[in-house]
Amino acid sequence: MGTLYVVGTPIGNLEDITFRAVRILGEVALIAAEDTRKARILLGHYGIKTPVTSFFEANERRKTDVILATLAESDVALISEAGMPGISDPGYPLVRAAIKRDIPVVPVPGPSAHTTALVASGLPTDRFLFLGFLPRKAAEQRATLAEVAGIRATLLVYESPRRVRATLANALAVLGNRPVALCRELTKLYAEIWRGDLEGALAQLEEVPPRGEYTLVIGGAPEESRWDEAQVRAALAETLAQGHSRSQAAREVAQRSGWHRREVYELTLS
């Protein structure tokens, strides 16, 4: 039986890869890559001749069985277009399927855009929540942001240049004018980090049209945003009246109020 290696690859600069990752990519029998064209650029840079097969969202289900068959006898490396596989990229179903078959899964850590952006943002790093790509529809996006509005943790969001303005506008409407870092094309030649607040970010993108992929690092809920008990009780009453259980109501109100779920649940009992 082989081993499935989940290998981190550069998010821009080809030098951002570990010695171990290069060695493993050269030793496995097959590399499953989200983008075979970009994979071959990376492999060619390091003189790696390992065969490559495509593994992306559209063929993930079909290719999983093929890769599992290879893993029955040989080692396979899973790589994404950039960064760590499975983080807003294909990979999770294959890893889960391998685990179910008792195939060893070994992570080979590497860069990740959201942690790279976080540490350079100037915003708190002790607590953060990675949201990946938000829903495309405005109403769904605002609902997702409302769920995390009361959380005192830095928020991390991926966004395309085409949608980044709308996402920032929705964040401003739901979260208020919080601090933000716009991180673009990280580790690449024209990498840029703009720091300010959400209003300023929208103004900045009016002056400089968005280009490249963005990681948005948004400040968490300020301390004073924690609701008082009367607000929490009112929200609980409304949520319970909608037919939610005590546990469900406590979870939903906690997400909006800045209270811990256990604190809110205790109020449902009094």
Task: Report pLDDT digits (tens) over 51-110.
Answer: 999 999 888 888 999 999 999 999 999 999 999 999 988 888 999 999 999 999 999 999
Asked if residues 76 and 30 have their Cβ atoms less than 8 Å apart, the reply is: yes
How many domains does the chain divide into? 3
Please give the model's pTM, rounded to 2 decimal places.
0.80
26 and 72 part of one domain: yes
102 and 39 part of one domain: yes
243 and 164 part of one domain: no
- Rounded to 10 degrees, the C-alpha dihedral 67/68/72/75 comes to 50
Q: Where in the sequence is the domain holding 249, given as residue range(s)?
A: 226-268
Which residue intervals of the chain are DSSP H helices?
Answer: 19-27, 36-45, 60-71, 92-100, 113-121, 138-148, 164-175, 198-207, 229-241, 246-257, 261-268
From 111, 144, 171, give the residue that closes a domain. Answer: 111
76 and 122 part of one domain: no
Least trusted range by pLDDT, from 46-55, 63-72, 261-270: 261-270
Task: Report pLDDT digits (tens) over 247-259.
Answer: 988 888 887 787 8
> Any long-range contacts for 166-173 (C-beta under 8 Å, 24+ apart)?
166/138, 166/141, 167/134, 167/141, 167/216, 168/198, 168/201, 168/202, 168/205, 168/216, 169/202, 170/138, 170/141, 170/142, 170/145, 171/145, 171/198, 171/216, 171/218, 172/198, 172/199, 172/202, 173/142
235 and 164 part of one domain: no
74 and 84 part of one domain: yes
212 and 151 part of one domain: yes
136 and 206 part of one domain: yes
Domain CATH number, residue 150: 3.30.950.10
Nearest to 37 by CA among 99, 95, 101, 81: 81
Tell me what pLDDT residue 261 has. 86
Specify which residues 195 forms β-bridges with.
181
Is the pLDDT at 24 greater than 80, yes or no? yes
215 and 194 part of one domain: yes
Nearest to 186 by CA among 122, 111, 131, 127: 111
Task: Report pLDDT digits (tens) over 204-247.
Answer: 999 999 999 999 999 998 876 678 888 899 889 988 988 889 99
Percentage of residues in the chain with pLDDT exceeding 70?
A: 99
Measured between alpha carbons, how far is 195 from 181 in angstroms, rounded to an integer? 4
Tell me what pLDDT residue 223 has. 74
Least trusted range by pLDDT, from 132-136, 141-145, 191-195, 250-254: 250-254
Domain CATH number, residue 29: 3.40.1010.10
120 and 201 part of one domain: yes
106 and 118 part of one domain: no
pLDDT average, residue stretch 155-168: 97
Sheet containing 214-218: which strands, arranged edge to edge?
Answer: 128-133, 154-159, 214-218, 179-184, 192-197
39 and 50 part of one domain: yes
Measured between alpha carbons, how far is 16 from 213 in angstroms, rounded to an integer? 18
